[in-house]
A = this chain, B = another copy of it.
Amino acid sequence: MGKPNIVILGAGYGGLMTAVKLEKMLPAHKATVTLVNKYDYHYQTTWLHEIAAGTLHHDRARIPVKDVINMEKTRFIVDNVIAIKPDEKTIKLESGELSYDILVIALGVEPATYGIPGLDDYAFTIETVNNARLLKEHLEYNFAKYHHEDEKNKGRLNIVVGGGVSGVEYLGELTNRIPDLCDEYDIHKTMIRVINIEQSSTVLPDFDPQLAKYAMSSLESRGVEFITGARLKECKPDHVIYEKAGKHETIPTYTTVWTGGVRTNSIAVNSGFTHNQGEIDICDDMRVSGFEDVFAIDECTGVTEKESDKLYPLTANMAIQQSDIVVHNVKALIQGEEEFTAYKPKRSGTVVSLGHTDATGTILNNRKLFGWKAVMLKKLIDNYYLLRLGGFNQLMRKGKFNIFY
């Protein structure tokens, strides 16, 4: 193969970890590695709900790619991917074309709005730093507007959040922030409404019922109103319509936050790979079905648990596990080996944050955690990732060490 060109698309958890490990595992003369990313920074997706609520500064959640990648070993391009052409082995970028010998697709997900009218145009999402920061500013702007208008508009103080795990995490942070927001803009706490619209009969329907109940109680005690068994029907700039038990109801609000669904990045899906429910079909060795030299990693892929036939939750932890396999198999491919390592997902527990001081989740043996123990575990997981990604330096710079806040 000579000196092959390895191209990694995306510097999320999976893509960046792959690049970092390739640097360590592959001698420079064995391959050229190029990393392409939309921004010059990587960001902690799992912290975005904190940025959106305004409880964490966005710079804490992002890491300049140049701080973890050796620019002399790895070529780094900041650009948008327009199309992947696996037949021609090229990538179309906004500013040109790139050819590859081995491709790693790590483009992640984008919000899915399932055709619900108005969500694309008027709802806020929290899947990028830019979106999360805008939501924070939007809320502050509406709180500031409230006392500026002679005719008081309650819609500015109503916040509607739609579904999902990240919705629950956002609610946790938001309710922590609201007392400060009220102080800042001279608004009495009782005038704020935070409403969660959830399709199931409970939040976190895929979790143990005890955990879900704990999460709801914790959030209710901080003023969240839950409307369960309801579906968002339409979103407008100044109100939202939902359906419950066949009846349509309207809530005046300028802030609808859509956290109810994601789908695989559409560029990855529309590149001629076979896919399953929108997720790219991959083999056990993390290669895309039917392609010898294309790997997919991270949220691009759907990994089904064999026993339950359910999709594994897409966690940062899983992306890191996968990057080990991808790096191992990329190396095997370059060296012409016949044996590839298969990816066997290991469940490692999940923790859902409920603001800075509360959380709930399960660990390895399905043991349930509540409150400060879960908060500690969540911080431990985050710090462990930072350590693996950027070593001691990044851990010190961006880690979360205050267990009381």
A interface residue numbers (CB < 8 A to B): 130-131, 133-134, 136-138, 140-141, 144-145, 147-148, 185
Contacts and interface: CB of A to CB of B under 8 A. Distances in A.
A153 to B, nearest CB: 13
A403 to B, nearest CB: 28
A10 to B, nearest CB: 18
Nearest to A80: B150
21 contacts: A130-B144, A130-B147, A130-B148, A131-B148, A133-B144, A133-B148, A133-B185, A134-B141, A134-B144, A134-B145, A134-B148, A136-B144, A137-B137, A137-B140, A137-B141, A137-B144, A137-B145, A138-B141, A140-B140, A140-B141, A141-B141
Nearest to A131: B148
A185 B138 CA distance: 14
A127 to B, nearest CB: 12
Contacts of A134: 141, 144-145, 148
For the complex formed by this chain, how many copies does it contain in all?
2
A122 to B, nearest CB: 14
* The 5 nearest A-B residue pairs measured at CB: A137-B144, A137-B141, A130-B148, A141-B141, A134-B148
Nearest to A128: B148
Contacts of A147: 130
Contacts of A185: 133
A141 B137 CA distance: 5
A139 to B, nearest CB: 10
Contacts of A136: 144
Contacts of A131: 148
Given A130-B147, A131-B148, A137-B141, 7 more contacts: A130-B144, A133-B144, A136-B144, A137-B145, A140-B140, A140-B141, A141-B141
A48 to B, nearest CB: 13
Contacts of A144: 130, 133-134, 136-137
Nearest to A147: B130
A62 to B, nearest CB: 10
Contacts of A145: 134, 137
Contacts of A137: 137, 140-141, 144-145
A141 B140 CA distance: 9
A148 B138 CA distance: 12
Contacts of A130: 144, 147-148
A133 B187 CA distance: 14
A94 B133 CA distance: 39
A131 B131 CA distance: 26
Nearest to A183: B59
Contacts of A138: 141
A227 B353 CA distance: 53
Nearest to A57: B184
A145 B140 CA distance: 14
A182 to B, nearest CB: 13
Contacts of A140: 137, 140-141
A141 B136 CA distance: 9
A400 to B, nearest CB: 22
